[in-house]
Homo-oligomer: A and B are copies of this chain.
């Protein structure tokens, strides 16, 4: 490395880290971006890989390729094990890397709220390997049902449970229902995949609580049109290889809670995330989800040269904690990039304006041609919301080839009701291997 130049280190190649690297294009400093994976993952479409609609390469782009035109940015594939705020060094494996500014953007991971044993039976959806594992389990369940003579066992194989009624859970439930009802329809001889039962479980009183009530209700109706069941007010008590134990949330009038069991061979977890483990190792205060509590300039308390952005950070603005969505990470990245550029080019450290989030709205899709969307008071549902969703997601997909490939793949599956990526492959997925 160039000892003369200032060093900026970015950890994480997600929406935040990548946007920070781009914001530092051409700055007179050596920028190093470090990630454990060699690709940027477009997470909003990961459920499509899980549901065999897309291939991993459609939604993932090599980070080196994305940053090839920025000669001041160096990309390192490696695992950041430790940050030494005192000596201003991070460690990639055992190798120290010095920084003048550090941008941490390591994101979040699936959280089982202390029940780590559930992971083996109910994978979450954070990595490509997760998506391929969920794909494998869902497709394999149909295959096993086709060969299963016993009616009860077949029923269990054709019951799919999605836990968590946020956008990811809704997208997964809709997509599994669609897979059974439309895609696999004619492919089997002994079973009718349309008999597949999809149950979406939410502990709270309603799904999609971040949307307005009427849109949440519309999502329920759209899920029901696809044949999925929505169950709210049910808390997960246990998950094993054969199903899920549930308990009704105790009602206000002191009614005793009821236990319930749903047999299912395939359970998917979309109920919670926590910050990546690196956040815990910084020695600064974190919240219940393990997120670093940052200042109003996204920096760590008392450490103005170190920033934490995106899902790993807890940023409070006017009493609201910003949600863990990609626009927050990207806006914070551009803000932080601007600060660093300013400080590289200045003498001393000029005063910083606080970060402010501009909320463009949010959306969730429910299978083919169904969705809800809400932006600054405007509500959309059904086909028009789905078109908006499609347009925005294709637009933000990184890499020209990916956009074209994804659009064509979707056009093909939309018109033909076929899915090319319905491959059952071994995935290298191991619960304990997860970060």
Contacts and interface: CB of A to CB of B under 8 A. Distances in A.
Given A57-B55, A57-B423, A38 B143 contact: yes
Contact of A429 (B71, B400, B418, B428): B428
Interface stretch (A294-302, A360-368, A405-413): A405-413
A62 B418 CA distance: 10
B38 A139 contact: yes
Contacts of A39: 422-424
Q: Enumerate the 10 nearest inter-chain pairs by beta-carbon distance, A residue then B residue, closest first.
A: A426-B428, A64-B187, A57-B421, A55-B55, A428-B428, A77-B143, A62-B422, A55-B57, A38-B424, A401-B412
Contact of A146 (B60, B68, B76, B427): B76
Interface in A389-435: 399-402, 404-405, 408-409, 412-413, 416, 418-429, 433
Interface in A340-355: none
A190 B30 CA distance: 13
The prevalent SS among residues of A at the interface is mixed
A277 to B, nearest CB: 19
Given A68-B186, A129-B425, A187-B64, A420 B408 contact: no
Given A38-B424, A60-B423, 7 more contacts: A38-B422, A56-B421, A62-B423, A77-B147, A401-B409, A402-B420, A405-B412
Contact of A418 (B71, B128, B401, B412): B401
How many copies of this chain does one complex carry?
2
A78 B140 CA distance: 11
Contacts of A6: none
Contacts of A68: 186-187
Contacts of A129: 425-426
B404 A65 contact: no
Contact of A187 (B65, B190, B419): B65
A400 B413 CA distance: 11
Contacts of A412: 400-401, 404-405
Contacts of A404: 408, 412
A64 B412 CA distance: 18
A332 interface: no
19 contacts: A38-B422, A38-B423, A39-B422, A55-B421, A56-B425, A57-B420, A57-B421, A58-B420, A62-B187, A74-B190, A77-B140, A95-B147, A129-B425, A399-B420, A401-B413, A405-B405, A408-B408, A426-B429, A427-B428
A77 B143 CA distance: 7
Contacts of A146: 76-77
A428 B132 CA distance: 11
A69 B418 CA distance: 13
A78 B147 contact: yes
Which of A65, A184, A413 has the most chain B CB atoms inside 10 A of its CB?
A65
A189 interface: yes
A113 interface: no
A38 to B, nearest CB: 5
Nearest to A188: B64
A37 interface: yes
A61 interface: yes
A427 B419 CA distance: 22
A92 B69 CA distance: 54
A429 B426 CA distance: 8
A421 B129 CA distance: 15
A382 B37 CA distance: 37
Interface string A56-91: 111011101100110100111110000000000000
